[in-house]
Amino acid sequence: MIRYALRCTHDHEFEGWFGSSTDYDSQAERGLVECPVCGSHEVGKQIMAPAVSGTKRSAASDLPQPTRTMVMEAMGKIRRHVKDNFDYVGDAFAKEARAIHEGTSEDRGIYGEARPDEVKALREDGIGVAPLPPDPKEMN
């Protein structure tokens, strides 16, 4: 795991944890990195000084194994729950989420794919959406 200090275009500062630097890049490209304060997807990494010390463990990737295992198990449980209990709607996610919100489609849990601009429009219209946690097996 790696921790990044992040800042959105509205100068809200926060941090995010990612399986690797490529995970951050991939999620940012797909519009999945979001400011928890304002919801902006225009987020960038801040300059961070590396934590350097003698024998003290300080890198995020050096989390104690029990903590890393617990986080990975929790992500896996959430992902399995969604896949087992929600309807997969593929790339019709944004359209179906809007239809459910407007009451023209059956109220149920769904998951699928959406472009960043579709996710932004849903959120702007007050339709709650969230990314599915990554598959822990793909993060090792």
CA distance 13 to 32: 17
Instruction: Tell me whether residue 53 is in a domain.
Output: no
The whole-number mean pLDDT for each consecutive block of 10 residues of the chain, a chain of 140 residues, reads 81 81 83 86 75 48 75 84 92 94 93 90 89 73
Which of 115, 70, 77 is CA-nearest to residue 97? 115
Instruction: Tell me whether residue 140 is in a domain.
Output: no
pLDDT at site 58: 43
Number of domains in the chain: 2
Instruction: Tell me whether residue 5 is in a domain.
Output: yes
Task: Please indicate, yes or no, whether residues 42 and 82 belong to a single structural domain of this protein.
Answer: no
CA distance 114 to 25: 18
Q: What is the pTM (predicted TM-score) of this model? A: 0.52
Residue 109: domain span: 62-130
Instruction: Tell me whether residue 135 is in a domain.
Output: no
Instruction: Tell me whether residue 71 is in a domain.
Output: yes
Instruction: Tell me whether residue 4 is in a domain.
Output: yes
Task: Please indicate, yes or no, whether residues 96 and 123 belong to a single structural domain of this protein.
Answer: yes
